[in-house]
Structure 1
């Protein structure tokens, strides 16, 4: 039954973005280029590289925009202190509970995977990591870095909200006017791209990579924080922004596709000859982040236009998304190790891994989470039909 005031389009968008996370992390097993991870299947494919940079272009930007939107919604409905209490209960508490368990399980699976790669048998030998030249500390936020930064962003929002409210009305009007101009003019995405392109130009291939550090990194704060702030402001201006995104969703989709084609060309040129084209990393950073903005806005518009009402399948996947976000890496690594020795190509192994990980994640959600205290921890208590609710961690899962 539909719940009045609920943005089902965003629930549906969150569900699709969550599932794409499984596909992305399976693709990492089969990429051809350099990988910061110690495990990789012997069967690689350029298609896996394409899938990785394609999904990475918009998935996390979309999540941060939607997360910012719903944080602003909570502030408007409950105030900054109540928002922070709500977010800490849904973000910080699960992070504190699940991170120790997941870091141990992920590390064990990683060691088993590396052992299979090196010796063809199941086992654990920490010395094999030294041979892989793994320099990063295992003590990191893993794929939960999104939650970690979102915790910081929510805390900063709660702290700065009173100061923002105390500013003169003319300052509010100036910020609102500037955002409306950026959101409604075709060149607005170009302006938004500039700071992200500057940051990306300092990274390999012009693409920001999460460090996983528990010490917040300024480039990651600025990059992800800009999408989050756009989400915050989008809540204030949804009356203008949402109809415009619906109207221009296909233009932005096609424009993003054209820019992404240029990204692929530049990326291939970079991998073939990193020094062949001057400042190519800066070029990739510009094009890639422009793609991020175009496709993020396009996806919001497309889902508002074509999937504005409740969809049972996507609703179920959306409700399970927090759990799937937490545990899916165990599936992508574990099943990746299981199919490593199979006489199959990269695409066949990817398909098996995606299907198996999806099935196990949804099955464990149904049996162990949905009607248990874990489900209450992650999504809050289940409301009776017809009750109006704010989507738990709406668009705040990766």
Structure 2
């Protein structure tokens, strides 16, 4: 998924922001085994820390929201350039195909990781038997077809993209209605990106959706192909926000402008959300509903401010051509698709080692990214796989 303008100009800082969002996902998943409580992950390490919980809460609040906003921005660019047929073809090639093929290739490896994780906690791991059992689950199809991997975000991206095309087709049949909707959307975006109250304004509907999550914070809808309504609304909101920003690109600078006030608001929201999150399971608390209200609003402000600040920081520091950044941006889609089985297997291998959790986490992330980059350069970048993921084949780094 290369990020480029319709005039072949690359937005280098948005390339970097997108790569960051996906790489942060690798670190997020690599951190799960170091949580101080067992949440049903493949394995739990002997070294844990509450710091990991804080990191995961913060990173989970905005990394995919950032990705969906950027996806909306550049989806509109593709839509404007190629119109409906070209847009649908690009969604099929770069989203649907990786989602389906990736599921069939990765699901058995992930299942085998869970089997090995359970075995490791009993002191014995049989890799070959775990792999056999993992691939044997494909014989249960169509039960749980396309369910149960980290690729669910592609499913939602595809649903949202197709919904946008459908709405465009409906509105396009009624020109006067379409013009009114477009004008209203543009005026709303102009106000949101210009007002000092913008973060609060978008946080209100976001907080309303967060209220209906199964858990405090963003749910991970990987258990069913039936769309999770609150999650769908939030990711759709970020996608549409990015879509509309591309219609008025001057507003992107307003939305991502850095200020000490925005940093302070973000920090305050992070502290508040982390403090209030401790009351999630205290259902008998006399002020439970009020505390949850404070949490979802703080979480929503944290979400939007982190997305805004992240893009702003990358624009400030990386708004220039860089071969390294471009290579990482080109490879980041592949890295995220392939990383989870590698991460889980490494977590199992490291789980019983008498090392500090931070050392293990750095090692797992470094090995995963290094191995994935080697596979990308050797098997993907200059092949048909690279053409599917990046839009065209690119020369290897030799």
Query: Relative contact order, CA 8 A, sep 6+: which one is greater?
Result: 1
Is the partner of 1:325 in helix, strand or coil?
A: helix
Aligned length: 372
C-alpha spacing 1:160/1:203, structure 2 compared with 1 (3 Å): closer
Structure 1 residue 156 corresponds to structure 2 residue 163: yes
Q: Which of 150, 157, 168 is residue 143 of structure 1 equivalent to?
A: 150
Is the partner of 2:122 in helix, strand or coil?
A: helix
Give the C-alpha shift of residue 206 in structure 1.
Answer: 2.1
Aligned to 1:235: 246
User: Aligned Cα RMSD in Å?
Assistant: 2.4
Aligned to 2:358: 347
Q: Distance in 2 between matches of 1:338 and 1:347?
A: 15
Q: Distance in 2 between matches of 1:43 and 1:228?
A: 38
Q: Distance in 2 between matches of 1:249 and 1:64?
A: 24
Q: Distance in 2 between matches of 1:298 and 1:200?
A: 21
Give the C-alpha shift of residue 179 in structure 1.
Answer: 2.0
Aligned to 1:84: 88
Aligned to 2:376: 365
C-alpha spacing 1:162/1:205, structure 2 compared with 1 (3 Å): closer
Aligned to 2:52: 48
Which stretch of structure 1 is more off in the superposition, 59-68 or 75-84?
75-84
Q: Does the 8 Å CA contact 2:216/2:280 hold for their aligned counterparts?
A: no
Unaligned 5+ residue runs, structure 2? 134-143
Mapping of 1:1-398 within 5 angstroms? 4-33=8-37, 35-122=39-126, 140-165=147-172, 166-168=174-176, 169-203=179-213, 206-212=216-222, 213-239=224-250, 241-248=251-258, 250-270=260-280, 273=282, 275-276=284-285, 277-279=287-289, 280-382=291-393
Q: Distance in 2 between matches of 1:283 and 1:275?
A: 17
Give the C-alpha shift of residue 106 in structure 1.
Answer: 1.0
Task: Give the TM-score normalised by the residue count of structure 1.
Answer: 0.87
Q: Distance in 2 between matches of 1:246 and 1:296?
A: 8
C-alpha spacing 1:251/1:306, structure 2 compared with 1 (3 Å): farther
Q: Does the 8 Å CA contact 2:210/2:296 hold for their aligned counterparts?
A: yes
Which stretch of structure 1 is more off in the superposition, 353-362 or 204-213?
204-213
Q: Distance in 1 between matches of 2:294 and 2:352?
A: 39
C-alpha spacing 1:44/1:122, structure 2 compared with 1 (3 Å): farther
Is the partner of 1:79 in helix, strand or coil?
A: helix
Which stretch of structure 1 is more off in the superposition, 115-124 or 293-302?
115-124
Give the C-alpha shift of residue 167 in structure 1.
Answer: 3.9
C-alpha spacing 1:347/1:148, structure 2 compared with 1 (3 Å): same
Give the C-alpha shift of residue 242 in structure 1.
Answer: 2.2
Q: Distance in 1 between matches of 2:52 and 2:246?
A: 36
Q: Distance in 2 between matches of 1:107 and 1:227?
A: 32
Give the C-alpha shift of residue 278 in structure 1.
Answer: 2.0
Give the C-alpha shift of residue 141 in structure 1.
Answer: 4.4
- Map Cα deviations across residues 63-94 of structure 1 (whole Å, 9 max, x no partner): 00000011111111111221111111111011
Which stretch of structure 1 is more off in the superposition, 195-204 or 373-382?
195-204
Aligned to 2:139: none
